[in-house]
Structure 1
Amino acid sequence: MASYAETPAITQNEYGKGNAWYVGTRLDHAGLSHLFDQILEITHIESLANENNELEITKRITEDGKELYFILNMSNDKRKLPDKFSAYQDLLTGKIASQTLKAWDVEILNK
């Protein structure tokens, strides 16, 4: 993948039924985005949000099959919620998800 001083800075190895990546370098936002895009393509995993939104989005599935999305704005600026989540409910407030997350705001969403 990438190298530094003729040694691998990022490596990918098959392990069991999956793959493992080792990142032995510090990547900027563009480099991480490029790496994650490649990993998503190789593993055929669909991204949780196709819009560039600069939010941290994590999906968890409960034992009863409910999908929960943890949306974190880890910045000092407001960030727009991806359109995909516009009709979801925020479990923290009981209301429809806010379309803009304030700085350092969190929403836990489900349909």
Structure 2
Amino acid sequence: MATEICRQTNVQPLLPIDSNIEVTRRITSNGESVYFLLNHQQQARQVTLPKGSTYTSLLDGATVKDQLTIPAMDAVVLQAQ
């Protein structure tokens, strides 16, 4: 039922990724999107990001494109570029 309600009201996930990853988005004061990806699982998860998008990891400064691995019970913080 929830899936149908979301479809009818055009509610979409913040990022089209594995449902085992919790995704939260915050908007900074200058309008930039920051995504918090939390892996609550006991195993690492591979995440495929939207094509053509580039992010900066706010935890280590790395540029992230296409895919990333979130270790078990860990989190990633990405800022959209």
* Structure with greater proportional strand content: 2
**Which residues of structure 1 form unaligned runs of 5+?**
2-34
What are the Cα deviations for residues 47-100 of structure 1, in whole angstroms up to 9, with x where unaligned?
223343510011111222110100000111110122228731110111124711
Whichever structure has more helix as a proportion of its residues is 1
> How large is the Cα RMSD of the aligned pairs?
2.2
Q: How does 1:1-111 map to 2 (within 5 A)?
A: 35=2, 37-84=3-50, 87-97=54-64, 99-111=68-80
TM normalised by structure 1 equals 0.58
Aligned length: 77
| TM-score normalised by length of structure 2 | 0.75
Q: Deviating runs (4+, > 4 A) in structure 1? A: none
1:39/1:59 CA distance change after superposition, 3 Å: farther
Q: 1:103 is aligned with what amino acid?
A: A
Identity of matched residues, %? 31
